[in-house]
Amino acid sequence: MRRIKVRVAYDGGEFYGWQVQPSLPTVQGLLEQVVGEIEGKAVEVAGSGRTDAGVHALAQVAAFTLENPIPLTNLRRAINRLLPPTVRILSAEEVHPDFHPRFEAQAKTYEYRMLREEVCSPFEWPYVHHYPYPLEEDRMIRLAAVFTGSHDFSAFAAADESDTAGKSKVRTIFSSVLEREPGRLIYRVRGSGFLKHMVRNLVGTLLEAGKGNLAELETLPPKSGPTAPAKGLFLVEVEYGE
């Protein structure tokens, strides 16, 4: 048996998120279908975490176990031949038999893209949150830094089926930076882990600060702003130890 770790890029626009859902197209469900076809039987594909419906990934990490002895290069090519062009396996490697992409992840980085120009090209529309209205961008930049550190992010999480387990919603944010780029704002956040809708709610809170609706910018706000649209969010990187 071989444990295979893959990096996956996908356009999330046509999927109902990562996690398998009955009768709905998901990235995990598609990969399980394709890898199972190569293996000749059902294969479970585990991911580093769930991305919401409409969220994109530049480098999601997944893993599965195979008996098939196919070389890694040929395996990557075979999977990509069977996948639609909106999903690509970027790399494949063999790892230890117990590797799990979620439990062994040490950090994740997300990026949220906001277009500030008056007109949004139809070719950018699926991948940015178009917000051409006035914003106090300096206030947003200051608030982004406040998210850094270990905090209880309960106010920034959507309801989740795992809530009944009473798990802690404390997460550690290693860096949280909002940067200006020509015609846009880019929010990059790197942390130990993220709750459901957490990054999109952080962005929604930054937008509230930019509209002048938040008076206090030195501490974590007591409640989240509206959830920002999914299409501006990208999972950029998942980090592991040696």
Q: Active-site residue numbers?
A: 52
- Structure-token match 């608030």, residue found: 143
Q: Name 179's bridge partners.
A: 186
* Rounded CA separation 161/158 (Å): 10
Radius of gyration for the chain, computed over Cα atoms and rounded to the nearest angstrom: 19
* Rounded CA separation 159/161 (Å): 7
Cα atoms in the Cβ-side hemisphere of radius 13 Å centred on 88 = 8
Q: What is the dihedral of CA 60, 64, 67, 69, to 10 degrees?
A: 10
Coil vs helix vs strand at 51: coil
Exposed / middle / buried, residue 88 (Cβ in 10 Å: 0-12, 13-18, 19+): middle
Q: What angle do CA 25, 102, 206 make, to 5 degrees?
A: 80
Residues 6+ away with beta carbon under 8 Å from 21: 29
Dihedral sign for Cα atoms in the order 11, 17, 23, 28: positive
Short-list 149, 234, 126, 118, CA closest to 186: 234
